[in-house]
Structures are given as C-alpha cells and as structure tokens.
Structure 1
C-alpha cells in the first residue's frame, strides 16, 4: 500500500484540495488521520486510473479513425 497526502492526492486527481477533503468527510475517499493530517491510500484509485487510461485510448482510436466515404444518396427533391 502506498499513501499520499491530501495535497498530492488532489494533484493526481486534478481537483482542488477542498474537494478531496469533502470527499473524505463524506466517505467517498477512504483516508486515515495520522494525528496531524489525512493520508490517502492510493490503491483505491487503481481501477479509476485504469479506466481513465482505457477511455483515453478509445478516444484516440476514435479520433484517428477515418470518416467513411459518403454513400451515393439520391436527392429526392
């Protein structure tokens, strides 16, 4: 297990520290209070980051897929 501070976690997730703290208080992010600060187990984000990478790859594939030629559609007007 690897632990990070709220500041590091916020930076990794791309959100403000206040949002990370809010999620900790709501129980949406699991954290431990070590007597001075909250520390966050980063293992809980593994699937999130894996899904994010997969989505980025799928978007890149979609962007690089050429647009098919137009079918010969007759105008009825």
Structure 2
C-alpha cells in the first residue's frame, strides 16, 4: 500500500521534514508520481519486527539479576 509522506511520518512517529529528508537522501525508497512522493508502507515491516526484537532483548537484559560483587570484603 502506497502512502504520502505525511501519512508515513505519522505511521513512523517522525517529523514530516525528517521523512522528506530521508526520501531525498534515498534512505527511504519512494516513487514520484509527478506531484508527490509515494512510499510503500510494507517496507517498514521488517524495521518494526527488528525494533520489537531489540526491545525484548533489552527487557530480558534488564530483568537479569546482578551478580554478587567478588571484591567486597568484610572489614569489621
């Protein structure tokens, strides 16, 4: 499904100017129909899958208990 730059900016939760910049740089693939740039929304599916995977890994890492510190000495 092809969408306009403002629709993609809302979908990605990014400013419109940043999406325009990425389109002009070629970082986001698009098609120009003579009036506007159209972007295939499906190209971001992998991005969101990887983002969720990274979030899960970070949550997993944060939930691990800290190992005991071996340098602690009781000096009473």
Offset, 1:38: 2.0
Partner of 1:42: 41
Q: TM-score scaled by structure 1?
A: 0.74
Q: TM-score scaled by structure 2?
A: 0.75
Offset, 1:9: 1.1
Give runs of aligned pairs for residues 9-28 of structure 1, distance below 5 A.
Answer: 9-28=8-27
Alignment gaps of 5+ in structure 1: none
Partner of 2:54: 55
Counterparts of 2:65 and 2:11 in 1: how far apart (Å)? Answer: 33
Offset, 1:8: 2.0
What count of residue pairs does the alignment treat as equivalent? 74
- Across the aligned residues of Structure 1 and Structure 2, the Cα RMSD in angstroms comes to 2.1
Counterparts of 1:25 and 1:17 in 2: how far apart (Å)? Answer: 12
Alignment gaps of 5+ in structure 2: none
